[in-house]
Amino acid sequence: MNLKWFKMKDLQELALSLIRENSENPPGNEAGVADIIKSRLGQYLGFREIKTGENRVNLVFGDGDYIVFNGHMDTVPIGRYWTHNPLGEIVENKIYGRGSSDMKGALASLIIAIEEVIDEGNRDLLKRFKFSFVADEEQGGELGTKSIIDIIKARYGVVMEGSVFNNRIYYRPGVRGSLWLEISSRGKSAHGSDPELGENAVMNLAEFLLRLKKINLEFKKHKYLPDPTIAIGTTFHGGEKVNVIPDFAKATLDIRTIPSMDKVDIIKKIEEEIRSFGKDIEVNVIHEVPPAEIPLDSKIISIAKNAVKMVTGEIPEYKGGKGSNDANYMISAGIETIVLGPGDFANDNAHGSDEHIPLERLFKFKEIYKRMMEYAED
């Protein structure tokens, strides 16, 4: 058995151990994942543990100010209809499980890369870096990267979200923003046997959401980021009892924005639609992260391109992904950050049932992160 086999086995077992620690968010519980990471890296690197709630944990290893590598420990809820074990299973050299692609596999790749740098006698290289393992990214990052942004400050950053598209590695120098809105409807309660005496808030809200399907978001096309999107009714709550006409209902919208857009204009357009609708409807912002991008001549891009070329022989190009992530906070804080990670959202079914990632791709990114640490130049 060759050395690569042993390294692959170590990477596989670490990824599985991280996946088996359930860290669904909501409700949010990164403590078990954090314990594994501390047990692997705490003996080598000084670290800070920042708790932002019960079982909500952020870890920051090292104190270098050149590059910070950032990854989140939480996952979306497991959901339904899996045909493989959602808490970790190996099938045909693919790791299945919630978080395998987004993004516990990437965490494992980084941890093994750090350990190899240390094992090879190059621990001093790590003095230039920070490694942040954060909470809450899947719920907007308020308890994670946003809350510790001053601690992880560095010149450059790497967020290890997926940047693979159809098995080809790219880097992402910008990210769309996210604007989460709550739309609420007020009506009048009445007995279910006399519906005409009430005003059904659920039906009013449903009708209004259907109207929003026709709304046009104004924007100028971006060079590489996808056009904005609006997901209507991502949650919906209304009614208290089967025989009571509901007097209140609420739903959420997930709007992904690009740099030419303004939150005020979006809200104004929805409020105009509310006035036209003529019912008691209200809109409120529950979360906002503006879009962010870095210059295409940033040094972190050349560092990443060189590392990818050393490992794969190919020079990656830039591409815009559809999602928002912790890079938004980091770029806004002045950390020139790219997204570079093993997840392939076209193939891995991240956030869906049977989420998975090929072990070989995790190994490849382990090598890429290692090369970035070894060959990062000022």
pLDDT in tens, 298-354: 999 999 999 999 999 999 999 999 999 999 999 999 999 999 999 998 999 999 999
Provide the percentage of residues in the chain whose pLDDT is more than 90: 96
Provide the percentage of residues in the chain whose pLDDT is more than 70: 100
pLDDT score of 1 more than 70: no
* Each residue's pLDDT tens digit, 49-74: 999 999 999 999 999 999 999 999 99
Q: What Cα–Cα distance (Å) separates residue 94 from each residue in 58, 274, 351?
A: 28, 48, 16
* pLDDT band of 6, cuts 50, 70, 90: confident
Q: What is the pLDDT of residue 121?
A: 96
Q: What is the pLDDT of residue 123?
A: 95
Q: Kindly state the average pLDDT of the residues 268-284.
A: 97
Q: Which domains does the chain have, with CATH numbers?
A: 3-175+291-375 (3.40.630.10), 177-289 (3.30.70.360)
Determine the Cα–Cα distance for residues 351 and 141; give it in Å rounded to an integer.
Answer: 17
Determine the Cα–Cα distance for residues 39 and 44; give it in Å rounded to an integer.
Answer: 10
Q: What is the pLDDT of residue 3?
A: 73
Instruction: Determine contact, residues 23/30, Cβ cutoff 8 Å.
Output: yes
Q: What is the pLDDT of residue 5?
A: 77
- Residues whose CB is less than 8 angstroms from the CB of residue 143 and which lie 6 or more positions away in sequence, other chains included: 28, 52, 53, 56, 58, 135, 136
Q: What is the pLDDT of residue 378?
A: 72
Determine the Cα–Cα distance for residues 133 and 33; give it in Å rounded to an integer.
Answer: 9
Q: What is the pLDDT of residue 377?
A: 80
